Chain A
Amino acid sequence: MSVLQIHAHPTRTTVWILSWFLFVTGVISYFWVSRERHRDNPDDRVMPTLRQMSQAFVDATLKPAEDDEAAANASQQSLATRVRNSMLWKDTAATGRRFLISMALLFPAVLLGLHMGMFPHVGAFFLRFVLFFDKIVALSLLPILFIAFGIDELAKVMLIVVGVAPTIILDAFNLTRSVPKEQIVKGFTLGAGDFSITYRIVLKQIWPRVLNSIRLNLKSVMLFLFAGEMIASTDGLAYRIALLRRHMGMDTIIPYVLWVALLLFLVDFGMRTLNRKLHPWFQEA
């Protein structure tokens, strides 16, 4: 039996073992190296132990954020209030809010792409400009955005929009154009007008693909969001990570990184499930 065979048929157990192997070895080797380092130097801050990390994570979830007034009477509060006042919760909420605002701002981008694809005049008006905009490296605009919009929320949200919107617009545009001509002609022959065809035939058909495209661009959204938060912010997950880096707080940074990955995974999974549930007719390529 050869491993590198196109026609190989790994058993279910093999597949299971293979797919978890790197996770398990990664975790094991981390803790092994970490233990060795702590044996040499008990104050090692580079590779915190599991106990240090869980302690830091519990602190982050249950203890109030450091600048909080309520810190004094923390122990008398209920668990829910404590979580709500915690550093992790506040950071997640701040990042989540920016994330949601940016996502909401991407929907007009979808509509713009749709209209560009459907109406030649709209397409002619915007296409060249969007193509140009798409080539701008969004991060290079960061200083300009901070100067133009100040260093508050608006600049961060604008960074995401500038960075991701052109991609979404062009995706929606291309998806619109890829709807077979037959469908549009069919719409006209069934008595639909331009807008009925645009929204009730074309938008409805490309919608799951648009959601997919937004889902695939979540990473860029997070990238720009984190860049903005790290450079200019007073809260948020990336702000916290950048802040903790100054005191080498690896025991908190690592759980934070994993927490972000988990959140992104859940959003992605949720969107995929929703897409399948809402569009039973849609067959993913």
Chain B
Amino acid sequence: MATAQTLLEEKTEPAGLGMRALICIQDVLVEYGQPGKPSKRILNGLSLDIRAGEFISIVGQTGCGKSTLLRLVLAEEMPTRGQVLVEGSPRQQPDRRCGYVPQKYSLFPDRTVLENITFGLEVTEIGILGGFSPARRVRRKEFQSEAIGYLHRMGLRESDASKYPHQLSGGMQQRVAIAQALIMRPKILLMDEAFSALDPGTRAGMQRLIKDLWRETGTTVLFVTHNPREAVILATRVIALGRTGADEDGANIVLDLSVPDTGDELAIAALVQRVERTTFPGGAESDEQTGAPEV
């Protein structure tokens, strides 16, 4: 049986569609309406192509629609107009191609760490009633040792495996949530402010971890954050959302920035400043700055 390490090293296949992007967001418009009230426009004609293997950070002021954009990619939500294609086809509901690490409620509270990580494998291979046959039990053992491999990779101890999520710290919970998503080897990993509840030290560690994992797996990552610095140091490309016109017009992409893979602190600082200025034009403070991970 392959170890977790080698599995992590298996690169996700490139889209295989020639120049076609892995994710195609085409002119989407999102409006929330209640009957009897004028509908509220959130995203207005946003278009974005994402190639396989990119690490995209999405920044923007609170309420500008970052989470909405992720929900569109997940296919948890359908746009009012326009469409979102993953590997060239539209979808009706979220599926295995996207792994998802939300900010809150990222783990199943009723399962232990190990059960949380193996859940995806079990649910796809073992039916509700098929859990008791001997062959399944062997399979389950395999899942568990694979999960233990991920646990180690995430820097967690084996003694944590039998703990319940409420017994873990926030950082540990997010590590488990990432392992839970990655064990399914998703083509796309979506993270919605996954680190924003963590203290700066833990956060820097998690940034390092996610960047390493991205390098190892080649998964496409969409990473929503409030923090311009975090956005720049992690990503290969930063997308800033913002409103250009009046408030009711909704948001669109105000900045699409490629980030060179450089260790040059000055260049990074310049990029951070640029993102900051576009995202928070009022000169508002961005949230806490964290140390650069040693990437």
Interfacial residues, chain A to chain B (CB-CB below 8 A): 180-183, 185-192, 195-196, 199-201, 204-205, 279-283
Contact = CB atoms under 8 A, between A and B. Distances in A.
Contacts of A180: 104-105
A200 B123 contact: yes
Contacts of B104: 180, 182
Given A182-B106, A185-B94, A190 B119 contact: yes
Interface stretch (B6-14, B179-187, B234-242, B247-255): B179-187
Contact of A188 (B93, B105, B166): B93
Contacts of B166: 281, 283
Interface in B147-200: 164-166, 180-181, 184, 186
Given A189-B74, A281-B164, A182 B110 contact: no
Interface stretch (B22-30, B95-103, B208-216, B273-281): B95-103
B123 A182 contact: no
Nearest to B109: A281
Output the residue of B99, B102, B110 with the most chain A CB within 10 A. B110
Contact of B123 (A185, A191, A279): A191
B108 to A, nearest CB: 6
Given A188-B95, A190-B96, A281-B166, A205 B106 contact: no
A60 to B, nearest CB: 45
Contact of B105 (A182, A204, A279, A280): A182
A191 B121 CA distance: 8
B128 interface: yes
A186 B184 contact: no
B35 to A, nearest CB: 16
Given A186-B105, A189-B184, 7 more contacts: A182-B106, A189-B186, A190-B123, A190-B180, A191-B124, A192-B120, A281-B109
Most B CB within 10 A of own CB, among A181, A196, A200, A281 = A281
A176 to B, nearest CB: 14
Contact of A189 (B96, B105, B111, B128): B96
B288 interface: no
A246 B213 CA distance: 80
B23 to A, nearest CB: 15
A189 B96 CA distance: 4
29 contacts: A180-B104, A182-B100, A182-B104, A185-B74, A185-B76, A185-B100, A186-B100, A186-B105, A188-B76, A188-B95, A189-B95, A189-B98, A189-B99, A189-B100, A190-B96, A190-B180, A190-B181, A190-B184, A191-B95, A191-B184, A192-B120, A196-B128, A199-B128, A204-B110, A205-B108, A205-B110, A281-B111, A281-B165, A282-B110
